[in-house]
Amino acid sequence: MSTGEARPFAPFPQVRPLSDTALTVVFGTEVDPQVHAQVMGLARQLEALRDAPALAGVSEWIASFTALTVYFDPDVADVAALEAELARLAGAGAKAILAGRVWTLPACFENDYAPDLADLARLQGLSEEAVVSQFLAARYRVYTIGFLPGFPYMGGLPEALQVPRLATPRTEVPARSIAVAGGMCAIYPFKSPGGWRLIGRTPLNLFDPAREAEPALLAAGDTVQWQRIDAARFAALEAEADAGTLDPQQFLGEGPHDHAS
């Protein structure tokens, strides 16, 4: 690799230029709920201050693991003033106290929904059942949405289940696949190429443009826990989701839910 020496990082938070239309506020370098709380805290402040003159021209922002990227119209924004305001807000250290919504989402491990479950169990010297029960026991924090519309990057995968991505990515991962890689868990909203390991499937639509106000099911800051469902229950929920009649709000809150109909 390189012979060059890394310059030391300046103290966090830092406001860095991404382009002439975006700035990124960086709070740290590691996946850490405390760092993410600072990211979400700044996002909340921006939401509250949307109409403030110092934020003129700001159009949107993305909360990610350790950073908040702010997009603006340079024909409207005073970039130097915006940069100073973001530094001031970030430095004020407001952390989002509220953790976002808590979801209990259905997950099925049957049929051909979990093609990498056996491999993962073998790699870790566990039974498939042990993998599933460890997976179900954890709570996952949505750090950011990216890669695809509605695709959640969730931290919190138990260490015993942490394996690298597939050496050769699949050319097609089925929509609604529940996937793991490293310490992360995700759900593929659409079929797509992908290198994460597939260990289950949810019947829900992670992204639906018909839900105009909130097309993505999950948002950065949300917490997800999983509830096991069998293949029959999966089929019933999937049919509702395909028909557009499944109200995802029923999966809000701490589980377990009673899905008996």
Partner 1 sequence: MTTHLEVIDAGLGVSIQDLGRPGYRAIGVPLSGALDPLALAAANALAGNGAALPALEIRFSGPTLMLAEGEATRLALMGAATAEIIGPEGEKRLAEPQTSFLLRRGEKLKVGRTNGTAYLAVAGGFGVERMLGSAATYARAGLGGIKGGVLSPKDQLPCNGVGEDEDALHQSEALPYASGPLRVLPGPQEDQFTPEALDVLLSAPFSLSPAMDRMGMRLEGARLNHNDRGADILSDGVLPGAIQVPGDGQPIILLADGQTTGGYAKIACVISADLPRLAHLRPGDTLRFARVDRTQAAAARRAQAEAFARWKAGIEIWKAPGRIDIARLYTTELITGVTAGYCPA
Write out the residues near partner 1 by the rule CB under 8 A.
Answer: 1-7, 9, 16-22, 24, 26, 29-31, 59-69, 71, 74-75, 79, 144-151, 153, 189-190, 192, 207, 209, 212, 215-216, 219-220
Contact 223, 140 (CB under 8 A): yes
Strand partners, 86: none
Burial 209-237 (b: 16+ CB within 10 A, else e): eeeeeeebbbbbbbbbbbbbbeeebbeeb
Instruction: Give least dist CB 220 to partner 1, A.
Output: 7
| Shortest distance in whole angstroms from residue 2 CB to partner 1 | 4
Q: Which is nearer to partner 1, 132 or 220 (CB)?
A: 220
Structure tokens at 61: 């922002």
The residue among 74 and 244 lying less far from partner 1, judged by its C-beta, is 74
| Beta bridge partner(s), residue 60 | 71
Which tokens in the block code for residue 211?
């839900």
CB 166 within 8 A of CB 157: no
Instruction: Answer yes or no: are the C-beta atoms of 69 and 55 closer than 8 Å.
Output: no
Among residues 114, 91, 110, the alpha carbon closest in space to that of 177 is found at 114
Smallest distance from the beta carbon of 20 to partner 1, in angstroms? Answer: 4
Q: Which is nearer to partner 1, 87 or 130 (CB)?
A: 87
Residue 165 CB, nearest approach to partner 1 (Å): 11
Nearer to partner 1, 69 or 223 (CB): 69
Nearer residue to partner 1 within complex by CB, 107 or 186: 186
Minimum Å distance from CB 72 to partner 1?
11
